[in-house]
Structure 1
Amino acid sequence: MMIVSNRKQALAEFADTLSQEGRHEIAWAQTGEAALNLAKEKIFQMVVVDHELADTTTGKLCKDLLDVNALINTVAVSELSPEDFHEEYEGLGILSHLPLEPGAEDANAVLEKLSGLAFILTD
């Protein structure tokens, strides 16, 4: 999994939960450019995109990641309401919407969605 953010501390609990007991290895990228370079080198099951990046927007990065790998699962951190988030990012296939400081509960919810998707893809 990859987390694209320059706010490592704000996403620390979320990332720690994802990586507990060796469940998932976390790669960090601080910019959209770094994330795209990593995605070209390695296949990631999921990419978490933070709401404020220095070199791109959440929507553009999610679209660019799909251009690199059409099967990539993205999750976005956003301050938008669920309704506004849907309006803003509809059509980008974003798996989930996270609060600005996601925690353990959010990580477990994302993992549950991801495991359900993996089940659908393998059937």
Structure 2
Amino acid sequence: MAHILIASARPDALAGFIAALAQAGSRVDIAPSAKAAQEAVRHEPPALCLVDGDLPDMKALGLVSRLIEINACVTSAVVSPLSDAAFHEAGEGLGILLRLPPHPGPAEAQTLLAALAAIA
């Protein structure tokens, strides 16, 4: 069972995605801010932290960078409206597993879990 932390100020908009992760056997925790996500990673590092776009207190890529400083073993993924090419350029060097579209659903949850399993 993978432990996935979702840093999102809009968990209701991700309900289908979150349900699909849980249905696949993942333990999903929600952090409503970058500060809460950082505290969660310090307390109990997840297998993956999904950053849902820019949070109220920090931009997504800034949070990924901070999470690496806290625990470089925590894998990250980011929900972003950027194209794959633009996202790759913006996030280069951060080791982000993958970019998900702005409204991920069950299919994207399966894609994320497969990518996570591939590196485990």
TM over 0.5: yes
The equivalent residue for 1:6 is 9
CA distance in 2, matches of 1:52, 1:43: 21
Letter in 1 for 2:32: Q
What is the deviation of 1:50? 1.0
Letter in 2 for 1:11: L
The equivalent residue for 2:68 is 66
CA distance in 1, matches of 2:45, 2:36: 14
CA distance in 1, matches of 2:94, 2:54: 18
The equivalent residue for 1:56 is 58
Structure 2 unaligned regions, length at least 5: none
CA distance in 1, matches of 2:83, 2:13: 19
What is the deviation of 1:43? 1.7
1:1-123 → structure 2 map (5 Å cutoff) = 1-20=4-23, 23-118=25-120
What is the deviation of 1:52? 2.2
TM-score normalised to structure 2 length: 0.94
Q: Report the identity percentage.
A: 35
What is the deviation of 1:25? 1.1
What is the deviation of 1:24? 1.1
Once superposed, what is the RMSD of the aligned Cα atoms? 0.8
Count residues in correspondence: 117
Instruction: Give 1 or 2 for the bigger CA radius of gyration.
Output: 1
CA distance in 2, matches of 1:52, 1:71: 22
- Secondary structure of the 2:12 match is coil
Runs of 4+ deviating beyond 2 Å: none
Letter in 2 for 1:2: L
Letter in 2 for 1:3: I
CA distance in 2, matches of 1:11, 1:60: 21
